[in-house]
Structure 1
């Protein structure tokens, strides 16, 4: 009973809205149901508590609110035009709703006193847990305790790569920018877990995206006067662990997978092999875009419309769930207008992060900037909207946190971003 009293006392002190956010953040890798439970707790807390509603007012700038509402409204409009059934309409159009809600929730929670460090600790805990479980399942498969390697709590290696890539970007900058020894140690250990998970995803696209993010982060950190030596120590530890995984006795999963990825990336003159057959979906997707360039076919409708395009073009039968390209996916399902609104959202976040890169939380600003730059290339072969079931929410959380950043004024004080009331 005493433990329960302490538990509820802690929740009462931070608020149920924040508790739901932290719950969703911790359980995000373990499937959508636990995360949705956390979000449900946050929504109920907001609906029932006037104090919670008052606390979240002005958490997003007015122009950004309009962009999010425009993105959501347009998503429902074009999906209704598709004449799909109610289930498909709600399932499809709820994807941008989840993205907008995650950004709003992060901005609303992290502005509270002490919330940033609580989020830091929860994210460290879930990174360590997910990384440990991934390593354990790899070891079990390599030792033939289980028949096949299943990447941690995820269903496939691409999902693991999509999870580890933004984590690596975040922890890379946190390792260099955190102030206390304890915080640096936590960030360093989380970076090691993230890099190991990234390697065990055996996915070349997240590898390349993380490399871009690491280079961008390093340049900005050095420019802003931060030392990257702690980060280099973390990478050295990670490389040592990766070498041990490659030399691990038993089934040579890592070696064979690494050889496969190297053969793929060196086949740059063979487009189909180099892109893992992603270019096979381009002709059919472009055909659909040309038919409805402004409105698209509606969110979630690609899977239903693509087989029709294949028949019309005489393409080999295939049934991808998405075009595996964020830009083509938005053009196909939300049209040019939907793509432009989304790019406006990203540009608004990037501009704010760039403005606050010299502020008191420069590490977070640089992580956001690096993530956006890396996602620019990553989105040619993947989409954060395809990861809505598990890992996509962390990216939206990180992007939404840009609105808690502050900049230093001439007197050395900090000035928060102006937000709508």
Structure 2
């Protein structure tokens, strides 16, 4: 994506080949990361090896990062290491907890390092469509033939939650509409599979996040009448295909039941427990812990700490959840006030870059990254990205890295590439 043009959706095979070992590892981690942490870490290992071959670029890259990142990331890492060490009694649990913050920082910086090149940015977009094909295809197959709504993943809402960081990437391809007929078929298939896995694993959090992201996509991209007509045609065709595919599977009542349940939840304004799907109870416990541990209880220590307070009868059994289901409360409770402040500073830095893109009239990048960022912020209020480390978080963190890659001091043109 360069200026106000998007590279044609279907390029020669050469276009799909990474231009460096770092990029190869990065794309491998994203393409196969949905299978679990081992493929993701293997991709990270390849990327780290590649970084050794590009050591001259690392120091200038780090110096060019936004000031907000230079302050927030060291604070997150240092304070996270200290407060987790205080809270645990073994090196293993310290490493397990602190590595969560380390992986966040590494994932964001790796994405920033790779995506500052326009060609790599385009390949990332294309590879994310391949991820939609992979996850969506398997989810649809699993539902049609086995009636499973979670595919081969452990979480029944996974297929819809993963659509949040992939939503804008898929929809913008439909809106652009300047590809050839093969590219348009590819984009339609991506929209069809994205919608299928969204409905099959429907969650209220994904519904609200994607609706908010779509609203900002329209505001930032300002599609023409032709773009809108092309998009509406793709939506209608997607609806027709889904109305045939899902009912014929024999498991359509499962999806209908889920849709009714989510609508009922979002309509329960007078019942906070039902409206938040019992999250209000765990948020109450989170504030309880935050008041008693303003410096944080240590990363990945929430479940153990809640259990201890329940045993002391200072919290009731209804407050026991494995995670907090709110990104900001997770930072506050586990990382403490310093970590929450650092994270908000980091988000402010991302917002500033998006604002700069909008002022420069970088319409496509502004719409793509701005709408994705908006959707992630909504999800952060009802879900925890750090809690989704197993297979989901890296896709959210990559969006952050893609935003940072557009900062003026880190962008690299093809003419400036260090060989």
Structure 2 counterpart of 1:82? 87
Q: After alignment, is 228-237 or 45-54 more displaced?
A: 45-54
Shift of 1:150: 4.4
Structure 1 stretch displaced more, 232-241 or 279-288: 232-241
Distance change in 2, residues 1:221/1:162 (3 Å): same
Residues 269-309 of structure 1 deviation map (CA, whole Å, 9 limit, x = unaligned): 2222222211221222211110122x111111101101223
Q: C-alpha deviations, 1:42-91, integer Å up to 9, x for none?
A: 11221355467579565633542332222222211221221442112111
1:66 matched to 2:38? The reply is no
SS at match of 1:14: coil
**Is the CA contact (8 Å cut-off) linking 1:132 and 1:193 kept in structure 2?**
yes
TM-score normalised to structure 2 length: 0.85
1:109 corresponding residue in structure 2: 114
Distance 1:237 1:52 in 2: 47
CA distance in 2 between partners of 1:105 and 1:59 (Å): 14
Could you tell me how far apart the structure 1 residues matched to 2:224 and 2:384 are? 31
What is the aligned partner in structure 2 of residue 348 from structure 1?
Answer: 349
Query: Matched residues in 1 for 2:60 and 2:173: separation?
Result: 27
**1:322 equivalent in structure 2:** 323
Counterpart for residue 248 of structure 1 = 248
Are 1:417 and 2:408 matched, yes or no?
Answer: yes
Contact 1:26/1:123 (<8 A) preserved: yes
Contact 2:26 2:111 in 1 (8 A): yes
Secondary structure of the structure 2 residue equivalent to 1:330: helix
Q: How many residues align?
A: 396
| Matching of residue 208 in structure 1 with residue 208 in structure 2 | yes
Corresponding residue for residue 270 of structure 1: 271
Alpha carbons 1:159, 1:387 under 8 Å: kept = no
Is 1:126 matched with 2:117? Answer: no
Distance in 1 (alpha carbons) for counterparts of 2:325 and 2:336: 16
Task: Give the 5 Å matches for 1:12-411.
Answer: 14-47=19-52, 50=55, 53=58, 60-112=65-117, 114-142=119-147, 149-177=148-176, 179-181=178-180, 186-222=186-222, 227-251=227-251, 252-293=253-294, 295-310=295-310, 311-316=312-317, 319-357=320-358, 359=360, 362-405=363-406
CA shift for structure 1 position 357: 2.6
Q: In the TM superposition, what is the alpha-carbon distance from 1:350 to its structure 2 partner?
A: 1.2
2:417 is matched with: none
Structure 1 184/253 Cα, relative in aligned 2: closer, same or farther at 3 Å?
A: same
Deviation at 1:95, TM superposition (A): 1.4
Assess if the C-alpha contact under 8 Å between 1:165 and 1:198 holds in 2.
no
Relative distance call for 1:289 and 1:152 in structure 2 (3 A) is: same
**Aligned equivalents of 2:334 and 2:99: distance in 1?**
13
1:177/1:185 Cα in 2 relative to 1: closer, same or farther (>3 Å)? same
Could you tell me whether the CA contact under 8 Å between 1:17 and 1:52 is conserved in 2?
no
Gaps of 5+ in 1: 1-6, 143-148, 406-415
Please, which runs of 5 or more residues in structure 2 have no aligned partner? Answer: 1-12, 413-419
Q: Post-superposition shift, 1:237? A: 3.0
CA distance in 1, matches of 2:71, 2:185: 40
Q: Is the 8 A contact 2:299 2:334 kept in 1?
A: yes
1:177 and 1:226 in contact (8 A); partners too: no
Secondary structure of the 1:418 match is coil
Aligned residues of 1:324 and 1:383 also touching (Cα < 8 A): yes
Counterparts in 2 of 1:141 and 1:89: CA distance versus 1, 3 Å: same
1:113 positional shift:
5.3
Q: Distance in 2 between matches of 1:193 and 1:340?
A: 38
Instruction: Compare relative contact order (CA 8 Å, sep 6+) and give the higher one, 1 or 2.
Output: 2
Q: 3-state SS of the aligned residue for 2:329?
A: helix
